[in-house]
Amino acid sequence: MTPVLLVIGTRPEAIKMLPVVRALRALPEVDLKVVTTGQHRQMLDQVFAVFGEQADIDLDLMTPGQTLSDITARVMREMDGLIASYRPGLVLVHGDTTSAMAAGLSAFYNRVPVGHVEAGLRSHDMMRP
């Protein structure tokens, strides 16, 4: 089985990634762990409830008054530990949030392939991205 860490931090990420979660959970060859950073705690929990899903790992990283640098450092530190523990073959992230960037960077630093859902050239014109 291929271990996969799928990281969700915000409501928009959850809305777009939870169908991916359902599809991956249906594959017997994938050992999926859904990780949430809690970047948008209340709104994120509401979306998980609507989908009838829950995270396997909740990093619960948000604290009052923290900066984006604080969030970045905390996500990277926690992801380093998860990557060491689970040794995933892939880390999946979505969009352009701090959670996605930090999780992707941690995976990159740990030499784990990153799948970026929603990555691509929407205009289909390299001269007008």
Q: Are 16 and 100 in contact (CB under 8 A)?
A: no
**What per-residue confidence (pLDDT) applies to 120?**
65
**What per-residue confidence (pLDDT) applies to 95?**
86
- Domain boundaries along the sequence of the chain: 2-91+100-117
Query: How many angstroms separate the most distant Cα atoms in the chain?
Result: 42
Q: How many residues does the chain have?
A: 129
Q: How far apart are CA 115 and CA 22, in angstroms?
A: 17
In this structure, CATH architecture of domain 2-91+100-117: 3-Layer(aba) Sandwich (3.40)
Mean of all residue pLDDT scores within the chain: 92
- Rounded to two decimals, the pTM is 0.89
Tell me: pLDDT of 90 over 90: yes
Q: What would the pLDDT profile of 20-57 be if each residue is shown by its tens digit? A: 999 999 999 999 999 999 887 888 889 999 999 999 99
Q: How far apart are CA 111 and CA 56, in angstroms?
A: 23
